[in-house]
Amino acid sequence: MFNIITIGDSTVDNFIIIDDNEASLQCDLNTDTCKLCFNYADKIPIKHTAHAVGGNAANIAVGCKKLGLKSAIYTEIGDDINGEIIKDELAKAKVSPDFIKVLHNQDSRYAVVLNYKSERTILSHYIKRKYHLPKLSKTDWLYYSSLCGDITQVQKSIIKYLKNNPNTKLAVNPGSHQIKTCSTELKKILPFTYLLFVNKEEARCLVGKKADTTQLIKSLHTKGVKIVVITDGTKGATASDGNIIYHMAIYPIKATGKTGAGDAFASGFLSAIHYGKNITEAMQWGTANAGGVIQQIGAQKGLLNKSNLEKLIKKYPKIIPRKI
């Protein structure tokens, strides 16, 4: 019996931290149009490099484990060095390997993350898989996230599992590849979704129209989602249980890197709901957990345990969710 089983691709993230000062004349960060620009053929100075395991499913499994949940992950990896790194790091985090599938003579996914002035640009290596969900143990939560192959069979298996295990709740956070196609297949999972994590653009994709955050939330509820969370970067997060909509600002913490902040928010929020806390408390847990992650390089190094999470919440008593 698990508290949560996550479903999704795992990666090895290779971080290249660009020197903010030395590279300032050769690089341009345009946040209005979301561009990181390099002069062609320039040599760009870097501070250092690092690597860490990532991927939404792995980040959530590790984040929830740190907060006391018994976690497992279904992920498919190759039998290469990156696959070994992924297995080793998940084992160190005490995430169950029961559903990890190792594919013979295949590569694992990886990414190159360019960090500049705390913002990140991710160059991701996609590998199309033919996923087949294994027989899963009983669990309180399924967390369905980023996959870059055909999701049809996986979603059918998830829906079948939920029908056979009515006490299991489904949390969904679509990956960028799934959102890019924004397929009809992806939208079929919404009526079975208890907890949905998306950013504003992803919400617009699922709803099928441009709208403000409040309208997007209402539309997602009509599609069957019980709790909707829309994150908006430095503008904070908005959440609703179908009755009241709340917004919460981020904590004023200087960011070293922002990779994994959304996943940290999600693991904090979901863990709080699992422990019976309300929406406003869950938003505080999520915001605090994200605040821990952005102080480190990598999506998992800064994840908080319960004690450190509660300390960070107490540090910012005036930043609380408000009704909108």
pLDDT at 32: 64
Mean pLDDT of 41-62: 88
**Nearest-angstrom CA–CA distance, 113 and 93:** 22
Mean pLDDT of 23-38: 64
pLDDT at 62 over 70: yes
Task: For residue 322, give every residue at least 6 positions away whose Cβ sits within 8 Å of its Cβ, in sequence order, or none.
Answer: 246, 247, 248
pLDDT at 141 over 80: yes
Mean pLDDT of 169-190: 82
pLDDT at 222: 96
Query: Taking the domains of the chain in order of start, what are their residue ranges?
Result: 2-11+55-109+127-323
DSSP code for 100: E
Structure tokens at 190: 């919404």
- Cβ proximity of 13 and 80 under 8 Å: no
At residue 227 the predicted structure's pLDDT band, cuts being 50, 70 and 90, is: very high
Mean pLDDT of 94-116: 92
pLDDT at 273: 98
Average pLDDT, the chain: 91
* Residues above pLDDT 90, as percent of the chain: 66
Per-residue pLDDT tens over the stretch 298-313: 889 999 999 999 999 9
- Cβ proximity of 225 and 196 under 8 Å: yes
pLDDT at 49: 86
At residue 31 the predicted structure's pLDDT band, cuts being 50, 70 and 90, is: low
Structure tokens at 15: 């971080």
pLDDT at 92: 96
pLDDT at 210 over 60: yes
Q: Please choose, from the candidates 16, 69, 70, the residue with its C-alpha nearest in 3D space to the C-alpha of residue 45.
A: 16
Structure tokens at 145: 């996230």
At residue 184 the predicted structure's pLDDT band, cuts being 50, 70 and 90, is: confident
Q: Please choose, from the candidates 215, 209, 207, 256, the residue with its C-alpha nearest in 3D space to the C-alpha of residue 238.
A: 215
- Cβ proximity of 269 and 227 under 8 Å: no
Domain 2-11+55-109+127-323 indexed as CATH 3.40.1280.30: no
**Which of 53-62, 199-208, 306-315 has the weakest average pLDDT?**
199-208
pLDDT at 290: 96
pLDDT at 258: 83
pLDDT at 22: 61
**Nearest-angstrom CA–CA distance, 294 and 143:** 22
